[in-house]
């Protein structure tokens, strides 16, 4: 295994002072999978104060000395180094009440969650794999270290972590681990929302996300209760081939693996059961399900403690997920004024997202071919590209006049804002070019104070 030079040198310095030290956990797993680890964590027999001694003179951050962790920064890259430890009793299913430092790596590996995460490597000692992690990597299996039920009872977050790793690496869950995580799923309620969010979003963005969502809706319903009634929910509508959960899962699979987009697809139709109405032909309709889903998105993003930006974006994308770029008569409308209006309303990033969302959603109905929907999306994106290449004006910021230009003409307060809006609209509709002199002339002629 190739360690980065900085990691080798940290290990060598600890060895030089008489301590053992290893790269451990996720980085070893990723290196064995031939994936570039995003960070390198180390563990060592040195106690925190001994590490401080060894790395005197280096840029050291005392990350969590009580838990045995400090960070050494080499060439602006942080490396976390933690004293070998076992975890004490977990009374709250969240974090150990205490940690105990131990002298060998075996004890440290035994406290880790899954076999694939419980390997250590050092140039001198080679790979330390006490629980069959390498074999499980080859077999693509997520398996608890030790007795699964005990491990999930200690820290219920591991339930979601198991599904997250199974999704990200496209692994299956070992039967014993599977059984225990289903049994203990209700204890996920006790886990801090921030920790749940991190794992859930990674799960949603994983290569196996669709399979995990299909296989474990009951577990995920502990976190988002609205999932439960979606499973097997007959949509009774001829535009929909699949039940509501299967449709949702496919919609998630069809969108690029970015957290905002994947969460949007998970939530986009969640409000449907609450707004169903039946017509005389026995067909179900879901008027205003967009708003009902947006309300659920509002609560779910709160529950998950998403930051403001993510929350607002997801709610907006859920609310407008059905935007179709059509005229009232149903024709696709890619006219310049219409696209500019949409750009003004949503901004480029969200408008592009809404086009992708529409494609993912339509494809997931089972009544439209992926090729046809892809072609439609490409046509819409191409129209946007062509329009944006002209750097058109679609916000007040782009307008060739601003408030200060209108004040000398007598505009003040709301009238000023109103005049600017009317100008912007006229420019977007192509009634007047975006040129200062022409706009000022237009104001004096057509806009009342």
From residue 208, alpha-carbon distances to 102, 167, 369 in Å are 37, 4, 22
Give whichever of 51 and 157 is closer to ligand ATP, judged by the CB atom: 157
Q: Are 25 and 165 in contact (CB under 8 A)?
A: no
As measured in angstroms, the least distance from the Cβ of 38 to ligand ATP is 6
Binding-site member from 112, 240, 268, 358 for ligand ATP (CB under 6 A): 112
Q: How many chain residues are in contact with ligand ATP, going by CB under 6 A?
A: 11
Please tell me the chain's helix, strand, coil percentages from 3-state DSSP, rounded to the nearest 5.
55, 10, 35
As measured in angstroms, the least distance from the Cβ of 106 to ligand ATP is 14
As measured in angstroms, the least distance from the Cβ of 291 to ligand ATP is 35
Determine the interface stretch with ligand ATP among 154-162, 228-236, 315-323, 349-357 (rule: CB under 6 A): 154-162
Q: Does 202 bind Mg ion (CB under 5 A)?
A: no
Q: What is the DSSP string of 136-162?
A: HHHHTEE-BSS-HHHHHHH-THHHHHH
Q: Which does 220 bind (CB under 5 to 8 A by kind): Mg ion, ligand ATP, none?
A: none
Binding-site member from 20, 21, 23, 26 for Mg ion (CB under 5 A): 26
Q: Among 123, 146, 151, 142, which Cα is nearest to 31's?
A: 123
Q: Which does 157 bind (CB under 5 to 8 A by kind): ligand ATP, Mg ion, none?
A: ligand ATP
As measured in angstroms, the least distance from the Cβ of 205 to Mg ion is 16
Binding-site member from 83, 117, 177, 301 for ligand ATP (CB under 6 A): 117
Between CA 101 and CA 84 the distance in angstroms is: 6
Q: Does 157 bind ligand ATP (CB under 6 A)?
A: yes
Between CA 179 and CA 164 the distance in angstroms is: 16
Binding-site member from 25, 68, 133, 148 for ligand ATP (CB under 6 A): 25
Q: Among 59, 57, 74, 56, which Cα is nearest to 5's?
A: 74
Give whichever of 155 and 356 is closer to ligand ATP, judged by the CB atom: 155
For the chain, how many helices (H) and strands (E)?
A: 22, 13
Coil vs helix vs strand at 21: strand
- DSSP-derived secondary structure letter, 169: T
Q: Does 321 bind ligand ATP (CB under 6 A)?
A: no
Give whichever of 115 and 293 is closer to ligand ATP, judged by the CB atom: 115
Strand pairing class (85-87; 99-101): antiparallel
As measured in angstroms, the least distance from the Cβ of 37 to Mg ion is 8
Give whichever of 116 and 393 is closer to ligand ATP, judged by the CB atom: 116
As measured in angstroms, the least distance from the Cβ of 7 to ligand ATP is 14
Q: Are 244 and 235 in contact (CB under 8 A)?
A: yes
Binding-site member from 20, 26, 120, 360 for ligand ATP (CB under 6 A): 26
Q: Which helix (H) or strand (E) holds 314?
A: helix 308-319
Q: Nearest residue to ligand ATP, using CB? A: 26
As measured in angstroms, the least distance from the Cβ of 307 to ligand ATP is 19
Q: Which does 117 bind (CB under 5 to 8 A by kind): ligand ATP, Mg ion, none?
A: ligand ATP
Q: Does 113 bind ligand ATP (CB under 6 A)?
A: yes
The residues facing 122 across adjacent strands are 126
As measured in angstroms, the least distance from the Cβ of 309 to ligand ATP is 22
Determine the interface stretch with ligand ATP among 152-160, 181-189, 270-278, 297-305 (rule: CB under 6 A): 152-160
Q: Does 339 bind ligand ATP (CB under 6 A)?
A: no
Tokens of 123: 């140039």
Q: Among 105, 14, 26, which Cα is nearest to 58's?
A: 14
Between CA 136 and CA 138 the distance in angstroms is: 5
CB-based contacts of 34, cutoff 8 Å, min separation 6: none
Give whichever of 26 and 68 is closer to ligand ATP, judged by the CB atom: 26
Q: Does 363 bind ligand ATP (CB under 6 A)?
A: no
Q: 436 — phi, psi (to 5°)?
A: -55, -55
Determine the interface stretch with ligand ATP among 113-121, 285-293, 351-359, 403-411 (rule: CB under 6 A): 113-121
As measured in angstroms, the least distance from the Cβ of 154 to ligand ATP is 8
Determine the interface stretch with Mg ion among 22-30, 68-76, 90-98, 180-188 (rule: CB under 5 A): 22-30
CB-based contacts of 446, cutoff 8 Å, min separation 6: none
Report how far Cα 424 is from the mean position of its chain's Cα atoms.
36
Q: Are 385 and 421 in contact (CB under 8 A)?
A: no
Q: 301 — phi, psi (to 5°)?
A: -65, -30
Q: Does 155 bind ligand ATP (CB under 6 A)?
A: yes
Between CA 289 and CA 417 the distance in angstroms is: 34
Cβ-in-10-Å burial (0-12, 13-18, 19+) of 254 comes to: buried
Give whichever of 147 and 386 is closer to ligand ATP, judged by the CB atom: 147
Give whichever of 112 and 352 is closer to Mg ion, judged by the CB atom: 112
CB atoms < 10 A from the CB of 77, how many? 12
Binding residues for ligand ATP (CB under 6 A): 25-26, 38, 41, 112-113, 117-118, 155, 157-158
Give contact residues for Mg ion (rule: CB under 5 A).
26
């Amino acid at each position: 295994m190739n360690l980065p030079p900085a990691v080798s040198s940290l290990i060598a310095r600890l060895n030089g002072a008489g301590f053992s030290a290893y790269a451990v956990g996720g980085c070893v797993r990723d290196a064995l999978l031939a994936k570039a680890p995003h960070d390198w964590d180390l563990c060592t027999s040195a106690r925190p104060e001994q590490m401080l001694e060894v790395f005197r003179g280096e840029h050291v951050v005392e990350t969590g000395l009580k838990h045995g962790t400090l960070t050494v920064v080499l060439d602006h890259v942080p490396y976390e180094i933690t004293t070998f430890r076992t975890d004490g009793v977990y009374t709250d299913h969240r974090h150990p009440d205490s940690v105990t430092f131990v002298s060998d790596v075996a004890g440290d590996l035994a406290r880790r969650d899954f076999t694939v995460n419980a390997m250590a490597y050092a140039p001198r000692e080679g790979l330390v794999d006490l629980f069959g992690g390498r074999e499980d990597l080859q077999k693509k299996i997520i398996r608890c270290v030790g007795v699964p039920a005990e491990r999930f009872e200690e820290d219920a977050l591991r339930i979601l972590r198991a599904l997250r790793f199974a999704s990200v690496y496209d692994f299956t869950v070992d039967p014993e681990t599977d059984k225990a995580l289903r049994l203990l799923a209700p204890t996920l309620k006790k886990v801090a929302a921030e920790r749940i969010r991190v794992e859930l979003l990674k799960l949603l963005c994983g290569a196996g996300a669709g399979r995990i969502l299909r296989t474990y809706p009951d577990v995920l319903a502990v976190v988002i209760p609205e999932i439960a009634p979606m499973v097997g929910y007959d949509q009774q509508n001829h535009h929909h081939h699949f039940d509501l959960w299967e449709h949702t899962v496919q919609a998630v699979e069809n969108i690029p693996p970015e957290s905002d987009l994947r969460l949007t697809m998970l939530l986009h139709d969640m409000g449907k059961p609450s707004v169903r109405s039946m017509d005389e032909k026995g067909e179900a309709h879901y008027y205003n399900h967009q708003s009902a889903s947006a309300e659920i998105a509002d609560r779910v993003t709160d529950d998950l403690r998403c930051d403001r930006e993510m929350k607002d974006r997801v709610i907006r994308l859920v609310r407008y997920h059905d935007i179709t770029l059509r005229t009232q008569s149903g024709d696709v409308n890619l006219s310049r004024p219409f696209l500019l209006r949409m750009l003004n309303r949503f901004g480029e990033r969200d408008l592009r997202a809404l086009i992708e969302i529409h494609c993912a959603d339509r494809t997931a109905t089972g009544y439209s071919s992926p090729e046809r929907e892809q072609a439609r999306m490409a046509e819409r994106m191409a129209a946007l590209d062509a329009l944006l290449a002209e750097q058109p004006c679609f916000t007040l910021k782009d307008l060739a006049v601003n408030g200060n230009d209108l004040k000398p003409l007598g505009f003040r307060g709301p009238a000023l804002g109103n005049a600017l809006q009317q100008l912007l609209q006229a420019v977007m509709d192509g009634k007047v070019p975006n040129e200062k002199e022409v706009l000022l002339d237009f104001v004096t002629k057509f806009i009342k104070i």
